[in-house]
Every structure is written in C-alpha cells, then in structure tokens.
Amino acid sequence: MENIEWGKAPLDASALRLRIQQVYEEMNKVVVGQRYMINRLLIGLFTNGHILLEGVPGLAKTLTINTLAKVLHLDFQRIQFTPDLLPADLIGTMIYNQKTAEFEVKKGPIFANLILADEVNRSPAKVQSALLESMQEKQVTIGETTFQLDKPFLVLATQNPVEQEGTYPLPEAQLDRFMMKVFVSYPDKESELEVMRRMSNLTFDSNVNAVLTKSEIFAVRDAINAVKISDSLERYIIELVFATRRPKEYGLNEEAAFIQFGVSPRASINMNRAAKAIAFFEGRDYVLPEDIKEIAYDVLNHRIILNYEAEAEGVTTKDIIDGILKKVAITK
C-alpha cells in the first residue's frame, strides 16, 4: 500500500470510504478471518459506541483491538481485569507528594482513546461501576476533581462466556452502555490454516501503518451522521424495540413466554446510528431495511433479558430476535 499523505483539505465521502478500506487492508496484515469483528469495532468507533466482544480465549480479540489502535494511531491502554483489581487501578488516585506536602492526582490507564478492558467480567462490581461513569459520561472523578476524557474515547471490552469459572455476570445497567455485543466465533479451516502459518513463523512482521488521523475519524462520524433514514424506517426501528417490550401485541405469543424485560431506548438510538454506518460503508447515503436487520442482532442481543423458562428450554436471544424480525413489518 502507498503511504498516505495527510492533507489539510477535508476528504469527501468517497475518499473517506477509501481510508476505511485501507484500514481493513492494514488489519489483514496481522488479523486473519475476523472481518465481521473488525467491521463492528469500526462501527463503534465511528458512531461513538462501546463494543463488548464475547468469545472463548484464543480468538484474536485482544490482537485485533491492539492492531486497530495502531492502524488508527490512537492512544491505547490495555487493562487486564482480575478479581483483585481496584477502582483506583482503573481511573487513578490521589497520592501525597512529600516534597510539596500536597496531594496530587495520578491518572489511571482509563485516560486514553482506546481502552481494551480485557476479560471485563472477571472483575468485581466496584470496578465495573467505576468503568460505568467513563463509558456514559466520558469523564472520571478522582477525589473532588472531575476530568474529561480525550476524544475519541472508546471502550472495547472482551468477555469470556459467563459459564466459565471465575467470571461475574455484568449488571444490566452496564450491559446497556455497550452499543453492541458481538459474538466472536472460531475461524474457518482456511483462515485457521493461514493463522497457523503466520504465527508459527518466528520472523512474522506484525507492524502496520497508521491510516486514519483523528480529524478524519471525526470526518467519518460527520459523514455517517449525514446519512438519511426515512420516516418509515425510523418507525420500523421503534416497532422492533417495542416488540421486545410488548411481544403479544405483535403476535409473538411463544416469544412472550420467555422475555422478562425488553430493551431500553438506547437500543433504538444505537440501531439508528449503526444502520447509518453500515449504509455509509456500503457506499450509500441512505439506509435500507437490510441495514437495520443486519445490525439488529448485535444491538439487541445483550439488552433482551430472558427468564428462567428460556434457560430451561434452551431459548436464546437470537431465537427471540429471529421471531421479531419475521413478525414485525415495515409500514409506510
């Protein structure tokens, strides 16, 4: 790939899409077969939404996020969440300076653009609560002082399945702060073969080039925000959301027996933003119904709270979303 010249002139939509394609190309130098995960991470970055990745260890979640930070030339911090982690280890604390006889602020690793909260569900509730303010308010409070976090600020959290030993289920309030929950699956045979060949080569070069500047990231955000969505599709999003809350009104009688709580208004906001991002990536300045359907699973799956009957019957949130997408129609 040619080295990119950083110009002062603002880029148009086509040029910004070319930059995004170059991001994929750089990522592919290191990460194999995870285009879906990379796509969702970019959607989060360009729409100001945090992402939760769930999958068993060894699926390149950490490698992907680390590489993305290098490609985007953003400040990056990796925080390993453990049972003995304290809130101060995350946001920072006040320390006493003996020379000045005053307390000074020592900022924690949360002060970066991209935060990798690795195995976030291995930390206790106090640490997860400390993460909550930074995710929602884009600020942290140390002592009596509140500090604004740098922009862009994005939390990319990884989570091992809850049934694994030593994990704590994330509270619903914190789950709702994540724009999307993305399930990371095993690679196919050809992808894993390529991974094996690369990583078994001791001379493998994992260096990547920086592709986007901060100003261009914000330019992509503006371009996505300008994507048009019709009134009928906006109402379609609302109908999908209300179907999780009042399933029987939509003929979802079987699904209603398994839903304990429907999704919050954040779901409709995030579905709107994510659908616009997909449309922009596809080269359009307008949203199609397929964009909404494509993103619905990632936006809704962690917000629908199922009851014990669902667990006993083996019903998943994917089953519920399948039913909703089949029954809820687009009205003009």
The confidence band for 92, taking pLDDT boundaries of 50, 70 and 90, is confident
Q: Which domains does the chain have, with CATH numbers?
A: 13-220 (3.40.50.300), 227-327 (1.10.8.80)
The pLDDT of residue 164? 61
The confidence band for 200, taking pLDDT boundaries of 50, 70 and 90, is confident
Give the Cα separation of 298 and 317 in Å (integer): 10
**Which residue in 301, 280, 263 sits closest to 225, CA to CA?**
280
For 154-190, write each residue's pLDDT tens digit. Answer: 998 888 776 566 667 777 888 899 999 998 888 888 9
Average pLDDT over the chain, rounded to an integer: 86
Q: Which residues lie across from 52 on neighbouring strands?
A: 157, 181
Give the Cα separation of 179 and 42 in Å (integer): 12
The pLDDT of residue 6? 42
Mean pLDDT to the nearest integer, 304-332: 91
Burial class (CB in 10 A: 0-12, 13-18, 19+), 135: buried
Mean pLDDT to the nearest integer, 328-332: 83
For 211-248, write each residue's pLDDT tens digit. Answer: 888 889 999 999 999 999 999 999 999 999 999 999 99
Six-digit token string for 234:
């906006």
Please give the single-letter amino acid code of residue 199. Answer: M
Give the Cα separation of 208 and 63 in Å (integer): 12
* Segment holding 94, helix H or strand E: strand 92-97
Please report where in the chains the tokens 């290098």 appear, as a residue: 70
The pLDDT of residue 237? 97
The pLDDT of residue 228? 95
Quickly count: other Cβ atoms within 10 Å of residue 248's Cβ. Answer: 11
Of 113-122, 252-261, 278-287, the poorest mean pLDDT is in 113-122
The pLDDT of residue 302? 93
The confidence band for 99, taking pLDDT boundaries of 50, 70 and 90, is confident
Six-digit token string for 222:
């503006």
**What percentage of the chain carries pLDDT values higher than 90?**
39
Mean pLDDT to the nearest integer, 29-55: 90
Six-digit token string for 265:
């208004």
For 72-87, write each residue's pLDDT tens digit. Answer: 888 888 888 888 888 8
Of 103-107, 253-257, 307-311, the poorest mean pLDDT is in 103-107
